[in-house]
Amino acid sequence: MQTVMRGIVVRMKSAGDDRLLTLLTDQRGVIQATARGANKPRSRLASSTELFCYSRLTLFCYRDYNTVDAADVENSFFPLRNDLTALALASYIAELIRELAPVEEPAEEYLRLLLNTLYLIQQRRYPLLQLKATYELRLLGMAGFMPDLTGCTVCGSYEDGVPMYFYADEGCLACQSCGSLQGRVAGGLVSPGVIMAMRHILYSPFEKIFSFALPEEGVSELSQVVERYLKYHLQRSWRSLTFFYSVL
């Protein structure tokens, strides 16, 4: 059976003349597919099955087996290949979404998040660490790891302009009074600007999540806090992330 959907290549491996692809699609989330003959020099699938190519895909699907019959490229994100740091970050976020996006289920919002982030990385419109943290936190929220940043988990208070504790293990805030009473701090005090940025990322409409500004030290703090939360809940590390930091 042939089906048509939109998707982006988030992993590509060569197997002789063929390419083994991991795709993030709007209709079926993360799927595996084969592009037969795509490694041949004159293959019509050669350019459309490169990493990060976003296309209108025609797939032949039989049980769990998918073959790419045709692919009309809508965005190749080619400029990423000329910027090593941007390419490193793009590789990391692609690896992350392979882990967190649904498999064989609709994933239109996941695809939208990845495409928008890749576009902004390519444009260098915001600091890369800010894009990284925004993507990570929004993706975690979508995937079921939504922290509660509405107020202190103990007394319910929330004051603008006041640092609060952020507990990475429970994904919640505590005011300074209640945080001291708890007798433990997971991640320490977080500045009010970073808390506001995290709330903005999680609670804003999708089209506004990237639209905020922090000073350089705030961007660094945001990246550290979100990454600590990510690593605590996923319990792993990423070589692509290590490489990104090595070229940042």
Q: How many domains does the chain have?
A: 1
CATH of the domain at 142: 1.20.1440
Strand-pair category, 29-35 with 148-152:
unpaired
Exposed/middle/buried for 151, CB within 10 Å: 0-12, 13-18, 19+?
middle
- The answer, yes or no, to whether residue 241 has pLDDT greater than 90, is yes
Residue at 248 is within a domain: yes
**pTM assigned to the model:** 0.94
Exposed/middle/buried for 65, CB within 10 Å: 0-12, 13-18, 19+?
exposed
Around 144, how many Cα atoms within 13 Å sit in the side-chain half-sphere?
6
Q: What is the distance between the alpha carbons of residues 186 and 41, in angstroms, rounded to a whole number? A: 53
Predicted pLDDT of residue 80: 96
What residue numbers bound the domain in which 160 lies?
Answer: 126-248
Residue at 206 is within a domain: yes
Q: What percent of the chain has a predicted confidence (pLDDT) above 90?
A: 88
Interval 131-152 mean pLDDT: 97
Predicted pLDDT of residue 186: 55
Residue at 156 is within a domain: yes
Residue at 146 is within a domain: yes
Residue at 63 is within a domain: no
Residue at 150 is within a domain: yes
- Which residues are CB-contacts of 146 (< 8 A; sequence separation ≥ 6)? 140, 171, 202
Residue at 53 is within a domain: no
Residue at 28 is within a domain: no
| Confidence band for 177, pLDDT divided at 50, 70 and 90 | confident
Q: What is the distance between the alpha carbons of residues 205 and 112, in angstroms, rounded to a whole number? A: 13
